[in-house]
Amino acid sequence: MKNGKLRIRPLTFPFTLSLNQVFPPKDDSISLSSALQHYIASDSPSQGQKIHTHLLKIGFIPNTNISIKLIILHIKSGCLSFARQVFDQMSKPTVSAYNYMITGYLKQGHIEESLNLIHKLVFSNEKPDGFTFSMILKLSTTSSNRIPSDIGKQVHTQILKSNVEPDDVLFTALVDSYAKNGKVGYARTVFDMMLEKNVVCSTAMISGYMKQGCVRNAEDIFEKTFDKDTVVFNAMIEGYSKLLETAKRSFEFYIDMQRLNFHPTISTFVSVIGACSVLSAFELGQQVQTQIMKTMFFTDVKLGSALIDMYSKCGRIEDARGIFNHMPEKNVFSWTSMIDGYGKNGNPHKALELFNKMQRELRIKPNYVTFLSALSACGHAGLVAKGWEIFESMERNYSLKPRMEHYACMVDLLGRAGSLHQALEFILGMTEKPGSDVWGALLGACRLHGDVQMAGVAANEIFKLSSDGRPGAYVALSNTFAAAGKWEGVSEVRELMKERGVSKDTGRSWVGTNSGLCGFHVGQKM
């Protein structure tokens, strides 16, 4: 029977399908289609995979419709490679076939494969549709160096050129992509173009603003959001939790949302715990932990890692370890939090011990951040040789190309140990152009060892890199002069800062009192 000429045979589901029932005439596509549909909609799609096995056995060539259903079936069963086989055998995969495959890869975290398919689609005769565009935009929000950061703009242009009429979802994806790539202005333009703004796009806009520190704008959008839900509250709480100045507001929102009958979720708790670490408010953190224990979230690995981090940032490393030990599931995040905690709490040897343990015994792959924590631990312990060994193992054993932060960490390590010239040599030998963090690490080491001359070199490089008047390097240079007792140097730098219009914000601290947290700055009287 040819495709399209089908004999209709109604089937009633559910019933137990025997393969012979499905294919009495060899390729009755309607019954085949319904059978596949049945399994796709069922809770056990993998049962339907037998149909594919049977089709292969009898040498059946599926048409487009059947192929797509097979792809959906395999993806739902978690077998991407089978889905891909079907896809590859399609003579002319349709855009929806591409879309299903791309989503499948995306959901399982196979970023590379989804990018490859998008590439393939672009060079095929098929036109990407709204689904494709939204997936590309979604991809632009995951970090991958294969995705250019202006991809949002490119997709935006393509949408305008194509016949795709953007709907709410596509608009939101566009807003989110711009917002996450630091283009809040563009995000806002698209946001304002939407006639009816729902809570989802408001949330995307809010977290974009929060990420840029535009708290007022985020609050403005929040106020105007009428269909508020848990997620938008969480976005506000998360945004507030990042900054010392606003972290207190996280708690207000946390209370507010509950008063309005929105139940806190894992994300809520993670952010609130984050606010506690920013505020070093460990007692508050303990109270939140008690709250968490009352929910079913206490075994969550993200929450566990957040708690480890909170306790170690509050200097309660043993409490952090307690959480770590009791976590039923640990991943690279939890291990890294613990390693980092030991490193920052004056126990670098314990940090390195855990770093070894996770690799040797548990075969957990360290990632960029883990290496950062391990390198920084070496720095604190003054273990230069160990630091080199770890730095080199990144690429050799794990194919992780050191990033700017790792270089900065190595410079810090060498510098702290007093090998300033070796540190400079290391910087000059870098394949990439050293960033201001790298020079900043050298500058810090110069201050430590009173090398005014090299401090000048480092500071100069930082001035060249940051034309935005960032005060850090000036202050560090001035402190270097001060530490070396060269007061004329100090005033020179101060003059230079005035001349270039650089100002340093007044430092502030927080202290817990009976009436809550209280902020104060240098020189302030109670």
Partner DNA sequence: GACGCTCTAA
| Site for DNA, rule CB under 7 A | 37, 40, 64-65, 68-69, 72, 96, 99-100, 103, 129-131, 133-135, 137-138, 141, 166-170, 172-173, 176, 180, 199-201, 203-204, 207, 229-232, 234-235, 238, 265-267, 270-271, 274, 300-302, 305-306, 309, 331-334, 336-337, 340, 367-370, 373
Q: At 526, list the tokens.
A: 């109670």
Give the residue with the Cβ less far from DNA, 180 or 248.
180
Over 262-304, what HEC string results? CCCCHHHHHHHHHHHHHHCCHHHHHHHHHHHHHCCHHHCHHHH
Give the residue with the Cβ less far from DNA, 172 or 478.
172
CB 122 within 8 A of CB 133: no
Minimum distance from CB of 143 to DNA (Å)? 9
Tokens 């991943």 appear where? 331
Tell me the sheet residues that pair with 521.
508
Give the residue with the Cβ less far from DNA, 136 or 381.
136
Neighbours of 52 (CB within 10 A): 22
Minimum distance from CB of 514 to DNA (Å)? 29
Minimum distance from CB of 201 to DNA (Å)? 6
Give the residue with the Cβ less far from DNA, 42 or 419.
42
Give the residue with the Cβ less far from DNA, 379 or 489.
379
Minimum distance from CB of 474 to DNA (Å)? 28
Minimum distance from CB of 253 to DNA (Å)? 12
Minimum distance from CB of 188 to DNA (Å)? 15
Give the residue with the Cβ less far from DNA, 112 or 495.
112
For 510-515, the CB contacts below 8 A with 24+ separation are 510/244, 510/279, 510/280, 512/281, 512/283, 512/284
Minimum distance from CB of 277 to DNA (Å)? 7
Q: Enumerate residues 6+ apart whose C-beta is below 8 A from 127.
A: 95, 162
For 76-85, the CB contacts below 8 A with 24+ separation are 76/40, 76/45, 77/45, 77/46, 77/48, 77/49, 78/46, 78/108, 79/46, 79/49, 80/104, 80/105, 80/108, 80/110, 82/49, 82/52
Give the residue with the Cβ less far from DNA, 237 or 502.
237
Neighbours of 406 (CB within 10 A): 20
Q: At 84, list the tokens.
A: 């891909």
Tell me the sheet residues that pair with 510.
519
Nearest of 189, 124, 120 to residue 156 by alpha carbon: 189
Give the residue with the Cβ less far from DNA, 296 or 428.
296
Minimum distance from CB of 501 to DNA (Å)? 33
3-state SS, residue 15: coil
Give the residue with the Cβ less far from DNA, 186 or 439.
186
Minimum distance from CB of 380 to DNA (Å)? 15
Q: At 90, list the tokens.
A: 């399609």
CB 152 within 8 A of CB 178: yes
Minimum distance from CB of 171 to DNA (Å)? 8
Using CA atoms, how far apart are residues 458 and 125, in angstroms rounded to an integer? 54
Minimum distance from CB of 122 to DNA (Å)? 16
Q: Supply φ then ψ for residue 48, to 5 degrees.
A: -70, -15
Give the residue with the Cβ less far from DNA, 313 or 449.
313
Q: At 157, list the tokens.
A: 């242009």
> What count of Cα atoms within 13 Å lies in the side-chain half-sphere of residue 100?
24
Helical (H) or strand (E) element with 512: strand 508-513
Q: At 44, list the tokens.
A: 């056990």
Residue type, position 305, single letter? S
Nearest of 221, 235, 129 to residue 180 by alpha carbon: 235
Minimum distance from CB of 383 to DNA (Å)? 20
Give the residue with the Cβ less far from DNA, 67 or 436.
67
Minimum distance from CB of 67 to DNA (Å)? 9
Give the residue with the Cβ less far from DNA, 69 or 350.
69
Give the residue with the Cβ less far from DNA, 13 or 487.
13
